[in-house]
Structures are given as structure tokens and as C-alpha cells.
Amino acid sequence: MRVGLCFDGFYSIHEMIELAQLADEIGMESIWMSDHLCFRDSLTTSMVLLASTKRIKVAPAPMSPYSRHPIISAMSIATMEEFAPGRVIASPGTGNAAALKEAGIESPRPLKTMREYVEILRRFLTGETVNFQGEVFQVNGAKMGFVPSAPVKMYLTAVRPRMLQLGGEIGDGVLLSAGCAPGYIGQCITEIKKGAEKMGRSLTDRAVAGFVTTSVSENPREALDANKMFLAYIFRNAHHAENIRLGGGRVDQEALAAAVGKRDWEAAKKFISDDVVHAHSVAGTAGECRSQLESFIKGGLNLPVLLPMGTQEARKKAIRMAGELGG
């Protein structure tokens, strides 16, 4: 089984390096470095992770067109690929709308923006002289001075129906947000398939990766609580309403957003019930987590990407559990 590892950037780069080396050692396929504004940067961290490991692939995710112009993203990806050929994955995505707004960054016309961004990024990475007069981006003859030695796979980060369709249409794969319930994953697969079929391709031509929030502990209470902070962080976004509904739970997203905005994590976690944790993540002993993960795979993920929670030792347990899955 293909298994990936996700870092959320909420803890130190030194801890991430230690975990990345363990993941590399046990044979995990890839590391996906999330780009959460105000936390550790995904691109610089991705380069460090490539330098600290030997074979595992690394993907900064997402690369947002709202915070990084396509030429800047192309330069970063090409530099990483030059350093570690064949080990870099690109993951374009609009980014967290709530976090962008907090930073004073608007995110209008996401579908048109992403379509243009991916096209320009690909053209730069193939060494083309880019002349592009779009509705969002204009490029006037820029050309990369160096390019990757081989094509770089692009997984579009998506969670809403039309962006999922776009991912199926123009992506090599699609990356789903953490916190997606298995029922919602199944609904996402339907939309991805529509996009793939629009291009005369089948769903088998499009990889579907997805972050799965994971806490491994012999203490059930500890495992559940460890997942609550991250679920609180992402569920403040209004676009997760349908996902939460399909998971069978209820979350006061407006009040949750207010608590997260204040970085009052203890208050925020109170909006995430145990039932919501069970529906949208995996938590428990290593054996219980392996069993729970099956529902996410059956939902349609062919590349589950584990996002380990808890202490550094707990995160190591999640990686070792992943090693058994990949074996």
C-alpha cells in the first residue's frame, strides 16, 4: 500500500527532520509539507527535508497562487528538483481561505486563478518562453534559466466540487484536505471522475491522495484529544460544512472560527466532539488506527497521507504504524 506522511508545520523543524528520517528509513512513499500561514514555511522546509533524507519524495502543499506568483513557485520547484531529481511533487492549491483573509490576502475567482496558475507553472517548468495574457495572470516573455530533468507531477489541492472537477481535468492527481469523512471522500471521487472524463481519461489515470489526521496512543482519551486541535483549525472554514454533515456530526463553525482567530485552542477544541473526531480522523492504538484507516481507503483514497498528532513519541508511533501498512 502507498502511504504518505504529512507535516502541518505547527511544531519545530528539528522535530520534522527527525520524523522525516524515520519515514525515509521505514520506506514511506512521500512527505507532504503543509503551507499554513503563520506557521513553518512549506517550501524552505521541503528543501531541508530533501537534504535530510535519501529516497522519500517531498511535496510542498499547497502552493497558492495568491501568496506566490507562478514564476516564484516554478523557481522553487525547479531548485528542489535539481537538488533531488525525481523526488519532488508539486501541489498547487488556493490555500486556506480563512488564513488568507486573516493575513489580508484576498482569494477571488479561485477556479480561473487555479486553471491559469497550473498552465503557467507547467509551461515554465518545461522551459518554454511564456507569453500569457490571461484574466488573472499576465506573463510577458519570461523563461526559466534551468528546468527539471523530468516532468514534475502535480496534485491539485481541492475540497469543493468544482475545484475537484478541475483537479480531475488538469491534475496528475488530486489532494484532499485533512478531516474529510469517508462519505465525503466518496463524494469527492465522483467529482474528480467527472473532470477526468471531460478530458477523455478515467479515474484510474488520476491519483487521489488525502490527509488523514492520525493519533496513535494506548490511551483512548489522549488519542481523541490529540486530534481535536487540528480539526478545530480546519473546520472553522465554511467550505467544510458539507463534509461535517456527511460525517454525521455538528460543529458551530462561526463560534469555532472566533475561538481559533484568538488562538484560544482550549476553547476551540470544545467545539469538536468525540463523535466528530471518530468520523473525520483515526485515533486509538496502532491496531485500531489501521482498522479505522480502512474506511478512508474504501472511500476512495489510493494514497492515504497520515498527519500524525500528539507528542513527538506519539507521532513516531503513527509513522511506525504506517510502515506496517506499506509493507
Q: Euclidean distance between the first and final Cα of the chain, in Å?
A: 7
How much is the average pLDDT of 252-267?
Answer: 93
CATH topology classification for 4-219+286-326: TIM Barrel (3.20.20)
What is the average pLDDT across 255-280?
94
The answer to whether residue 324 scores a pLDDT higher than 90 is no
| CA–CA distance, 138 with 132 (Å, rounded to integer) | 5
pLDDT of amino acid 105: 86
Q: What is the pLDDT of residue 95?
A: 85
Give dist(CA 196, CA 11) in Å, integer.
Answer: 37
For the chain, the structural domain boundaries read 4-219+286-326
Q: What is the mean pLDDT of residues 128-148?
A: 97
What does DSSP say about strands 130-133 and 138-142: parallel, antiparallel, or unpaired? antiparallel
pLDDT mean over 271-300: 95
Which whole-number Å values give the CA distances from 235 to 228, 257, 277, 302, in the listed order? 10, 8, 11, 24
* pLDDT tens string 102-137: 889 888 999 999 999 999 999 999 999 999 999 999
pLDDT of amino acid 96: 77
Mean model confidence pLDDT for the chain: 94
Could you tell me how far CA 186 lies from the centroid of its own chain? 17
Nearest CA-CA partner of 150 in 63, 86, 217, 214: 86
- Three-class SS of residue 315? helix
CA distance 228 to 217: 14
What does pTM read for this prediction? 0.92
β pairing state of 207-216 and 4-7:
unpaired
pLDDT tens digits for range 8-66: 999 999 999 999 999 999 999 999 999 988 999 999 999 999 999 999 999 999 999 99
Among 84-93, 228-237, 267-276, name the one with the lowest average pLDDT. Answer: 228-237
Res. 325 pLDDT band, cuts 50 70 90: confident
Which candidate, 278, 95, 292, 305, places its Cα nearest to that of 211?
A: 305
* Residues 103/109/111/114 CA torsion (nearest 10 deg): -50
**What cell does 75 get?**
523557481
* Residue 46 three-state SS: helix
Cis amide bond preceding 60, omega within 30: no
